[in-house]
Amino acid sequence: MVSTADFAGQVAPAELEPVRTLLNSWLIPNDSRQPTDRFDELARASRWRRRDAALVRELRDGLRPAVESGDAGCLNQWIERTGLRPAVDEGGVVYRHESGPAGDYLAAVLAAVAAGTWKRLKACPDCKWVFYDNTRNGSKRWCLMYAGGPDGRACGTIAKVRRYRDRRACELRTSQGSATV
């Protein structure tokens, strides 16, 4: 099973959540800390045909840098590649295509860009886990500030401790330095 555990409210809006699940099929698990690719599990569970799966995997690997850098510019090349065409349907904009699941994922991404929710999909700078920033001002940076369960990482807490230690070490050095003067 591909783990899509909700770390303390990090789930994306319904239409964007499958994209988050796809992105997190590449992950750095808490226990091993070794980059792991669980794409094949997701492809099997989704019953994609081999060719469709290959394109979805490429899209995942193309979307990850976009999420990590916050630069959505690369989406244009995927719009061309999948041949997505906007159409008005029942008062809303939909995207038509013949690109299978990759096209469906990209359509969900474009809808999220239009809705302003795409930029809230973020990758933790430490563990790379992709989470949805549900905070009011969209200022969340780490996947989780506190360990929220067996899968909780507390990357933000770890970073805070590290910063505190660095600062303490610096202060100690300074006080030792001044003591010898």
By CB under 5 A, name the binding residues for Zn ion: 124, 126-127, 129, 143, 153, 155
In contact, 143 and 124? CB cutoff 8 Å: yes
Burial of 147: CB neighbours in 10 Å, binned 0-12, 13-18, 19+: middle
Report the alpha-carbon distance of residue 66 to residue 167 in Å, rounded: 33
Q: In the bound complex, what is the minimum distance in angstroms from residue 145's beta carbon to Zn ion?
A: 10
Report the alpha-carbon distance of residue 140 to residue 86 in Å, rounded: 32
In contact, 29 and 36? CB cutoff 8 Å: yes
In contact, 63 and 23? CB cutoff 8 Å: yes
Q: In the bound complex, what is the minimum distance in angstroms from residue 87's beta carbon to Zn ion?
A: 39
Strand partners, 95: 86
Q: In the bound complex, what is the minimum distance in angstroms from residue 58's beta carbon to Zn ion?
A: 25
In contact, 124 and 131? CB cutoff 8 Å: yes
Nearest CB to Zn ion, comparing residues 11 and 127:
127
Nearest CB to Zn ion, comparing residues 2 and 28:
28
Nearest CB to Zn ion, comparing residues 13 and 152:
152
Nearest CB to Zn ion, comparing residues 28 and 81:
28
Name every residue whose Cβ is closer than 8 Å to that of residue 133 and which is 6 or more positions away in sequence. 10, 120, 121, 122, 139, 140
Nearest CB to Zn ion, comparing residues 146 and 164:
146
Q: In the bound complex, what is the minimum distance in angstroms from residue 66's beta carbon to Zn ion?
A: 18
Q: In the bound complex, what is the minimum distance in angstroms from residue 39's beta carbon to Zn ion?
A: 20
